[in-house]
Amino acid sequence: MKYSKVIEEIIQKLIEIVGEENVKTEKDYLEKYSKDETSEVKPHLPEVVVFATKTEQVAKIIKLANEKLIPVTPRGAGTGLSGGAVPVYGGIVLSLEKMNQILEFNPEDLAVVVQPGVITGEIQKLAEEHGLYYAGDPASSESSSIGGNIAENAGGTRVIKYGPTSFHVLALEVVTPTGEIVRYGGKMLKNVMGYDMVRLMVGSEGTLGIVTKITLRLVPKPKYLSTLLVPFDSLENSINSVPKVLSTLGFLPSSIEFMDKESVKMASKFLNEEIPNMESPAHLIVEIEAQDKDSLAKSYMKLGDEMMKNGAVEVYIADNRHHREKIWKFRKAIAEGIIAFRPTHCMEDVSVPISKMPQIVLEAEKIARNNGIEVLSFGHVGDGNMHVTFLKPPEMSSDSWKERLENSLVELYKLTAKLGGSITGEHGVGVKRRRFLKIFMTEEEIEFMRKIKKALDPNMILNPGKIF
Amino acid sequence: MNIIVFIKQVPDTDKVKIDPETGTMIREGFEATINTFDLHALELAVRIKEKTESKVTTISMGPPNTEDILRQSIALGADEAILLTDRFFAGADTLATSVALARAIENIDFDLIIAGERATDGETGQVGPEVGVLLGIPVVSYVSKLVEIDKNSIVVERSVEDGIERWQVELPALIAVTRAVSEPRLPTLSGKKKAMKSSVKKLSASVLGLKPEEIGLRGSPTRVSKVFNVKVTRNVQMYEGENLQEGINRVVEILRGYVK
């Protein structure tokens, strides 16, 4: 695709649309908007950064981009993990950060209407203040925006019970790749009027439209929570216990998280804190919800007993806030530790059937060993999503790392595909994984998606260079 | 060795709000939980128990539902729990609370009392030391480390503004501990089961021989005349772009001042 440069005339038109204060060409801005939080993806400078404050502005910018053939990369809070917001063809980065208002809060409809730039944690907080719950909960909820969550169909730690972001989106207002403003869905759960355009948009990584208004579903807030920390005698037992325990429980936990020994060490180093049984090959974190204290106690007793029957060496039960926060802080510190201590790494996001998860973790260890690099694994056992993370050994040269990482990734992906899995569970394909998509999909399957893209975006101006 | 640990039930929040009209704490809408500082006190007691074959008894004064958090203390390693509960105890200030606790403890054989530094709701930090004084035993507050303990004495470190003091005191004694003293453990499944089966001993004012005028609101000389939120005023200085170097120099200057 041949794109045009952002010349002065275009800058002037952008200023006419959004005002001078919302058009930035200074080096500092261009650099900041050249990357997101993805490791192993090269930054790429945009030619201009534009902040939209209204849907109509977004539409006008897209129309202008079509007319002049300028690529547009939409961007939320920039916390993505697949390079989705990296402007690989330059052009315009269109930031939705300033569209950050909660427009309507409708507890009577169990719904909230927001703009895409709202930080997800703010929606959660608002709902909880009213006894309700926005159950979409990516680990980044304190920093990621809801628009970005929608673009990537973000998952997180509560997917096993509540589903990923797509389960919570009732309606969307979208600016199409050709600049029309369309609205699909409504404040109701049932709606089969035509194609499910809402689901098509969610997870489309900013390639099929720019979401400008979002209606989200709220559910009742669980009253009591308990978090169990469960060290196991073996990695296989920890994961294999999950389907066994679930089939006897009679209820669904809201989270089941996995941490291998290296992940536990990483979090411990970052926080300078320990958790019990640091030397166990694996720990699970299980969170359960209940409407009263008695049923909560019954639930964790039953769950604990079942875990003990399946290879747990101990079950620690946190049913007060202090203890619960301690466990979750530990879980969230894994990623922070990786960034702090092993900045050259590659965090993967493969997703496989639960029964295949032990194989993924064990094989990843072998793959890393054979390629002379390091690895740790943590993730969401409840939903099959494992963050296998390759780490560059400190003394290794950067060229050697690149080559070994590439080999390791190909091996990991081939295995994942063989096990019936997906290359990404919640981070997206973006730039980072597009060259590997062929391992998982046939030419026909990729072409079928490309046809949708071409039909909706004939000039290929919206977030080019992503997915395929 | 017999160790007693004070436990207080507090609202489960970091943001205590005061009703500006009545000057009392807004407790509605919050679940009750164990005062965090007391978890550290209990942890220290349980660690001593694990080394010296001691018995740990937790004690609290509060409404009947305080039983719940006392059970939690059993799940965390306490052997026994005592609850002072009576409508006559209601509305107690720190002195009236201390009078009741001291009376209950007089009837127990003990070597060491451990209290948390303060409660996250009242924030006074008075009850521990007051009980020690009423019982006529040595009191060491702000204990951040247990150095040594034997049958007759205890050696502790006490954090003060300019450093650390080391104290050796004879037992029985009372220590009030900071969070640094120990990191609370997580309750285990077996601990929870033990707690479910155990019973909490309840004591009323009359059983303790306490008269209504000694305890509760009537026994409380404290009167709250005014409660207000302290306004924190910070003077933020921003250094950006061209001024960045100046900002860095300023930070270095400030840090140097601290080191001196």
Q: How far apart are CA A183 and CA A312, in angstroms?
A: 50
Q: Does the distance separating the beta carbons of A273 and B183 come in below 8 Å?
A: yes
Amino acid A327: pLDDT: 94
Q: Which residue of A has its CA nearest to B184?
A: A323
A318 with A371, same domain: the answer is no
3-class DSSP state of A437: helix
Maximum CA pair distance of chain B?
74
Q: Does the distance separating the beta carbons of B189 and A301 come in below 8 Å?
A: yes
DSSP3 helix / strand / coil % (chain B, rounded to 5): 35, 25, 40
A455 lies in some domain: no
CATH number at residue A74: 3.30.43.10
Out of A293, A316, A321, closest to residue B187 by CB: A316
Q: Which of A76-80, A94-98, A296-300, B224-228 has the lowest mean pLDDT?
A: B224-228
What DSSP assignment string belongs to A325-358? HHHHHHHHHHHHHHHHH--SEEE-BEE--GGGHH
Q: Which residue of A has its CA nearest to B39?
A: A322
Amino acid B256: pLDDT: 84
A158 with A254, same domain: the answer is no
pLDDT at B22 over 80: no
Residue with tokens 């247990």: B146
Cα–Cα distances (Å) from B198 to A250, A305, B82, B191, in that order, read 28, 19, 12, 11
A440 lies in some domain: no
A442 lies in some domain: no
Looking at the complex, report in whole angstroms how far the Cα of residue B208 sits from the nearest Cα belonging to chain A.
32
Backbone angles phi and psi of A294, in degrees to 5 = -65, -45
CATH number at residue A351: 3.30.70.2740
User: Number of structural domains, chain A?
Assistant: 4
User: Which residues in chain B have their CB less than 8 angstroms from residue A317's CB?
Assistant: 75, 186-189, 192
Confidence band (pLDDT; 50, 70, 90) for B32?
confident
A260 lies in some domain: yes
Could you read off the pLDDT of A12-38 as tens digits, one per residue? 999 999 999 999 999 999 999 999 999
Task: Choose one of A303, A336, A369: the last residue of a domain.
Answer: A336
A164 with A234, same domain: the answer is no
User: Which residues in chain B have their CB less than 8 angstroms from residue A301's CB?
Assistant: 189, 192-193
CA-based radius of gyration for chain B: 21
CB A422 within 8 A of CB A440: yes
3-class DSSP state of A166: helix
Q: Within 13 A of B67's CA, how many CA atoms are on the CB side? A: 12
Bridge partners for A227 per DSSP: A287, A318
Task: Choose one of A312, A336, A360: the last residue of a domain.
Answer: A336
Amino acid B12: pLDDT: 81
Is B39 an interface residue toward A (CB < 8 Å)?
yes
Q: Does the distance separating the beta carbons of B185 and A305 come in below 8 Å?
A: no
Amino acid B228: pLDDT: 73
A466 lies in some domain: no
Q: Does the distance separating the beta carbons of B33 and A322 come in below 8 Å?
A: yes
Instruction: Report the alpha-carbon angle A6-A8-A11, nearest 5.
Output: 70
Amino acid B238: pLDDT: 86
Task: Choose one of A38, A66, A95: the last residue of a domain.
Answer: A95
On the question of a cis peptide bond just before residue B172, with omega within 30 degrees of 0, the verdict is yes
CA-based radius of gyration for chain A: 23
A113 with A216, same domain: the answer is yes
Q: How far apart are CA A176 and CA A291, in angstroms?
A: 43
pLDDT at A127 over 90: yes
Could you read off the pLDDT of A230-286 as tens digits, one per residue? 999 999 999 999 988 888 888 999 999 999 999 999 999 999 999 999 999 999 999
Residue range A319-332: mean pLDDT, rounded: 89
pLDDT at B184 over 60: yes
DSSP state of B242: G
A162 with A211, same domain: the answer is yes
Containing domain of residue A329, as a range?
Answer: 223-336
Of A126, A124, A104, the residue nearest A115 (C-alpha): A104
Residue range A174-190: mean pLDDT, rounded: 96
Q: How far apart are CA A304 and CA A281, in angstroms?
A: 19
Amino acid B20: pLDDT: 67
